[in-house]
Amino acid sequence: MNLREATEDDLETVRSIAHSSLSSSYSHFLDEETIDDAVEQWYGESLADDMANEDFLVLVAEEDGEVVAFSQSEFVGDGHNTGQILWIHVDPDARGSGTGVRLLARTREELLESGAEHIRATVLEDNETGNEFYDSHGFERSGTIEVDIGEETYTENVFVESESDDDDSDGDGDGDDSWRALEEVTVDDESVFVSYGEVARGSDAPFYTAYEHEDSTSRYGWFCGNCDSLDNAMDSMGRIQCNSCGNHRKATRWDASYL
């Protein structure tokens, strides 16, 4: 899976995914006309201008060269130091494979690298699945706001990151290792729990920490974000090599024997 910043060439696909996602997740309380109004309001002609604004971020997820999901975020607050995730839309046909949580982790990382000091997310109150998504991936509800969609006003829940130690416990310099967004992944009939919040940069795509159990007490190894393989290894200098696709991370520190 490839995660990247959206371009103008992605506009029509983004609109299509937004419409399909809204229709799938919100049709039990939004009628089709309201969904059409929402897509036009948020993803109409103004979207290209928004994407050119440095305070606005749209990331897309590609699977086999096709865009299947995107996230929409902006910087808000005093000093624009809060990264607010407005939407994460996944095409209904691509759901259930961890695309949403992987996109969440990358969006969070990009916002922090761009200067955000805090991360929050908003989701419509009546979207039970969306609320559960943030609740189970390192966020907790902190309040509500009102949003206008078409001619109606709806309540959105505001989620903020739960307290974390931010201790860079593996010493790789990537930081924020305690933020975990776990997803159960099955590879070659073997199930592990991948933490998309614990990331190591690779040459082609990130590596993510994999655990044997959901309680994160026993590390299994690394999950390659380029080919979704568990067939990789780390040496004593912190180099990771994926044996399936060649994705690799260079050494992050000197081995103690050289000091």
pLDDT in tens, 211-221: 998 887 888 99
pLDDT in tens, 117-168: 999 999 999 999 999 999 888 899 999 999 888 788 999 999 998 765 444 4
Q: Evaluate whether residue 169 is within a structural domain.
A: no
Counted domains in the chain: 2
Domain that holds residue 187: 182-258
Transcribe 122-163 into DSSP letters: EEETT-HHHHHHHHTTTEEEEEEEEEEETTEEEEEEEEEEPP
CATH number, residue 88: 3.40.630.30
Residue 171 above 50 pLDDT? Answer: no
Contacts of 93 (CB under 8 A, 6+ apart): 68
Q: Evaluate whether residue 124 is within a structural domain.
A: yes
pLDDT at 217: 81
pLDDT at 57: 95
What whole-number distance in Å separates Cα of residue 112 and Cα of residue 27?
Answer: 33
- Tell me the two tokens of residue 3: 């995660």
Q: Give the mean pLDDT of 180-196.
A: 84
pLDDT at 50: 87
pLDDT at 83: 93
pTM of the entire predicted model: 0.74
3-state secondary structure of 250: coil
| 111 and 235 assigned to the same domain | no
- Determine contact, residues 33/150, Cβ cutoff 8 Å: yes
pLDDT at 258: 34
Q: Evaluate whether residue 44 is within a structural domain.
A: yes
